[in-house]
Amino acid sequence: MTTSGLQIRSLVKDDNTLEISLAQVEFPVPGPDEVLVRVEAAPINPSDLALLVGPADPATFRQGGTVQRPVLTADIPAAAMRLVAGRLNQSLPVGNEGAGVVVAAGSSAAAQALLGRTIGMVGGEMFAQYRCLHVNQCLALEEGTTAMEGASCFVNPLTALGMVETMRREGHKALVHTAAASNLGQMLNRVCLADGVELVNVVRKVEQEKILRELGAKYVVNSSADSFMSDLTAAIKATGATIAFDATGGGKLASQILSCMEAAAVSNMQVYNRYGSDVFKQVYIYGGLDRSPTVLTRNFGFSWSIGGWLLFPFLQKVGIEKMLELRARVAREIKTTFASHYTSEISLAQALSLEALAVYGKQATGEKFLIRPQQ
Amino acid sequence: MTTSGLQIRSLVKDDNTLEISLAQVEFPVPGPDEVLVRVEAAPINPSDLALLVGPADPATFRQGGTVQRPVLTADIPAAAMRLVAGRLNQSLPVGNEGAGVVVAAGSSAAAQALLGRTIGMVGGEMFAQYRCLHVNQCLALEEGTTAMEGASCFVNPLTALGMVETMRREGHKALVHTAAASNLGQMLNRVCLADGVELVNVVRKVEQEKILRELGAKYVVNSSADSFMSDLTAAIKATGATIAFDATGGGKLASQILSCMEAAAVSNMQVYNRYGSDVFKQVYIYGGLDRSPTVLTRNFGFSWSIGGWLLFPFLQKVGIEKMLELRARVAREIKTTFASHYTSEISLAQALSLEALAVYGKQATGEKFLIRPQQ
């Protein structure tokens, strides 16, 4: 017997509009290695917004539908339509991660072991009342951990651990992080403090500097300060950071980080080299908070690289053993190192209100929404 | 007994000027593993100009000195002085490579074997009448190869071979090259034709298209054409190129190449992915013909990288065995695959004339100067 429930859907139509709605969906009976989960909590991550609101013009959103079944509609600029050609006229479910209670399980031992347990899960389609998925996409939470506590047990925790792991694998000894006062940034700060890794936190506001310093961060630099370039160079010199993870993507921040890394490297050189230092400098762009072009003023020699970084390719690269090791650590430390904080809890229907969208759509540091699908 | 001769020098002075002059130098007696070479020919490569003219404002060059001992002087913009802080007040010799005849050799067998031979050489200070250097920096040319034929046996040949080798080592199967009608580009075209590697040549002018097509190039696209983006995407689709070597560095060309690679990859995808394709796309910047910032419009997913590429770090990475293998091929094919063509031959003194500088300083495709230090 199938189970029925609500699911958020995002649809790009060929009349250049985006429509976000609630669908009544029949969730399947789990196969042998699957479980059916009653979703209790799912965070709205920045990585969800690309699929949820796509390239729609935020200023054009309008409310439709009913209170129980709201619909949000917005216009998509004509030039942006080619970016979403691949999803045209497909009603897509949304939501990278969540947590809930296993209410039905397939016949395998692995599936049966999860029956009745509270679990974290990853794999999309989480902004819904139910989710049927493979046991490998589940993380059994420890006794005493609630679904709300475990809702963000994949994306941010594994991203923070993945950054530190990438740093080690690629031969760097300290790292730089931008938008560092975010939920993820605070988590990375806790991981680095726990693991004895030096971290240079880059923020934009004095309040954000304060948040991180109160959390024990040793190096916090403010990109709005006049002294930003010399502050960042000094912090890079002190830590030896030669790899950075940039959440913003656009503008000149990535270039500034490479320049400061080069300035720190050159200050240690004995002999002039017209090609710059031979210290290899890496910036990974893992987000797109600033959608404007990335502008590189190449005054940092030839030993540098800038590229994209995403969690799932990283996990594939490190392999299943390493991933299970990282996940086990997250489960153990979910209430401490990997604790998330939410500023609002909303139902599925409330997620489709102009008021809520206006806040979570901005991806402002400090604002974090948790969807409670059973409310 | 030392040998005396002329040597070109470049000097950045703390009054914000650059001075290029000829110095009378005593060249040392070779040590056991060294040889003294009478330099017969040395090309002016784009990579020499950074050291020779540095960040001087080309419009401010003025002629001084005498006909036998000319001096060129230019102003350096104040903002650019920090880029050359490391070479301030040091009179530096110039010239990456050249060829000549070994006129004195150290006591070792390796050095003695080169006595009287015509050799190619690398290691700087080649814009001079003599050069004393280690035998490892020498490539003995085959019987019947002249110094003029062997003058460019390192930088361009090993760069062309290094690009193809990098392509293979990093798992790509075809490549894109910009400024493709240059001496280096024509050489790369010959290497790719000889090795059966598919090459997409990007040029800026119709004449350059013609040059390459006459040399047998299969894929030539013109970045000035209205159809550039679709032409490049089609060529990338046909060849499967996922790595590019860009000589220009500045502007939007690197970004356009990544966009076209992504468009080619997406056209092969069955399922929409909001993060773009998982095809890894690499652009290496190996020159700086365009000094303006690199502008990346990140519409090519997250599986990409852009970075610096230089010949000497590449040679260090592949190791001595591989380098010797590549050098041996260059010596064998110096009159065919790796032949260079020069549009002007000048003496050391003529290199320090406003007329010559005005031409070789522009790094125009097709113009290539050879210095003949004994003239």
In B, minimum Cα distance to A262 occurs at B83
Question: In this predicted structure, what is the pLDDT of residue A151?
Answer: 97
CA distance A51 to chain B (A): 7
Supply B102's token pair.
Answer: 């070994």
Spatial CA neighbour of B117 closest among B32, B37, B29, B1? B37
**pLDDT exceeds 80 at position A274:** no
In B, minimum Cα distance to A88 occurs at B272
DSSP code, position B78: G
Residues of B whose CB is below 8 A from A261: none
Q: What percent of chain A has pLDDT over 90?
A: 86
Q: Is the dihedral of CA A139, A40, A313, A212 positive or negative?
A: negative
Residues of B whose CB is below 8 A from A313: 278, 302-303
* Residue B325 neighbours by CB under 8 Å, 6+ apart: none
Gap between the Cα atoms of B264 and B242, Å rounded: 10
CA distance B47 to chain A (A): 9
**pLDDT exceeds 70 at position B145:** yes
Residue B283, H or E segment:
strand B281-285
In one letter, which amino acid is A344? S
Q: Is the dihedral of CA A289, A294, A297, A301 positive or negative?
A: positive
Spatial CA neighbour of B127 closest among B29, B51, B76? B51
Give mean pLDDT, residues A50-66: 93
Find which of B256, B294, B297, B304 to mutate to test the A interface (most A CBs within 10 Å of its CB): B294
Gap between the Cα atoms of B189 and B192, Å rounded: 5
Are A250 and B304 an interchain contact pair (Cβ–Cβ within 8 Å)? no
Give mean pLDDT, residues B301-317: 94
Q: Is the dihedral of CA B325, B249, B258, B260 positive or negative?
A: negative
Q: Per mean pLDDT, which range of A141-145, A316-320, B122-126, B364-368 is the poorest?
A: B364-368
Gap between the Cα atoms of B245 and B259, Å rounded: 15
DSSP of B85-138, one letter per residue?
GGGBT--EE--SEEEEEEEEE-SSHHHHTTTT-EEEEESS--SBSEEEEEGGGE
Q: Please list, residue by residue across B221-231, b when 16 or more beta carbons sit within 10 angstroms of its beta carbon and e when fewer do.
A: bbbeeeebeeb
CA dihedral A128, A129, A135, A137 (to 10 degrees): 30
Residue A98, H or E segment:
strand A97-105
Whether the CB-CB separation of A102 and A137 falls below 8 Å is answered with no
CA distance A336 to chain B (A): 31
Question: In this predicted structure, what is the pLDDT of residue A85?
Answer: 83
In A, minimum Cα distance to B287 occurs at A302
Residues of A with CB under 8 A from a CB of B: 50-51, 54, 83, 86-87, 90, 249-250, 255, 266, 269, 271-275, 278, 285-286, 288, 293-299, 301-310, 313
Tens of pLDDT, residue by residue over A299-351, are 999 999 999 999 989 999 999 899 999 999 999 999 999 999 899 999 999 99
Whether the CB-CB separation of B76 and B84 falls below 8 Å is answered with yes
**pLDDT exceeds 80 at position B363:** no
Supply A310's token pair.
Answer: 């995403």
Are B302 and A310 an interchain contact pair (Cβ–Cβ within 8 Å)? yes
Give mean pLDDT, residues A216-229: 98
* Residue A198 neighbours by CB under 8 Å, 6+ apart: A173, A174, A175, A192, A218, A219, A238, A239, A240, A241
Are B90 and A249 an interchain contact pair (Cβ–Cβ within 8 Å)? no
Better-predicted residue by pLDDT, B97 or B269: B97
Give mean pLDDT, residues A188-209: 97
Q: Per mean pLDDT, which range of A135-139, A327-331, B79-83, B352-356 is the poorest?
A: B79-83
* Band of pLDDT at residue B165, cut at 50, 70 and 90: very high
Residue A40, H or E segment:
strand A34-43
Tens of pLDDT, residue by residue over B200-222, are 999 999 999 999 999 999 999 99
Whether the CB-CB separation of A374 and A346 falls below 8 Å is answered with no
Residue A190, H or E segment:
helix A183-195
Are B272 and A50 an interchain contact pair (Cβ–Cβ within 8 Å)? no
* Residue B177 neighbours by CB under 8 Å, 6+ apart: B163, B185, B188, B199, B200, B201, B202, B244, B245, B247
Find which of A12, A89, A302, A311 to mutate to test the B interface (most B CBs within 10 Å of its CB): A302
Gap between the Cα atoms of A56 and A19, Å rounded: 10
Edge-to-edge order in the sheet of strand B290-296: A249-251, A290-296, B290-296, B249-251
Question: In this predicted structure, what is the pLDDT of residue B335?
Answer: 96
Give mean pLDDT, residues B243-247: 97
Residues of B whose CB is below 8 A from A314: none
Could you give the angle at which helices A311-318 and A320-332 cross, rounded to 10 degrees? 120
Spatial CA neighbour of A138 closest among A194, A177, A99? A99
Q: Please list, residue by residue across B99-129, b when 16 or more beta carbons sit within 10 angstroms of its beta carbon and e when fewer do.
A: bbbbebbbeeebbeebeebbbbbbbbbbbbb
* Band of pLDDT at residue A365, cut at 50, 70 and 90: low
* Band of pLDDT at residue A231, cut at 50, 70 and 90: very high
Q: Report phi then psi at B116, rounded to 5.
A: 85, -10
Residues of B whose CB is below 8 A from A250: 298
A243: three-class secondary structure by DSSP? strand
In B, minimum Cα distance to A278 occurs at B313
Find which of B84, B258, B298 to mutate to test the A interface (most A CBs within 10 Å of its CB): B298
Question: In this predicted structure, what is the pLDDT of residue B102?
Answer: 98
In one letter, which amino acid is B120? G
Question: In this predicted structure, what is the pLDDT of residue B365?
Answer: 66
Chain-centroid distance, C-alpha B78: 28
Q: Please list, residue by residue across B21-41, b when 16 or more beta carbons sit within 10 angstroms of its beta carbon and e when fewer do.
A: bbeebebeebeebbbbbbbbb
* Residue A284 neighbours by CB under 8 Å, 6+ apart: A166, A243, A244, A245, A246, A306, A307, A308, A309
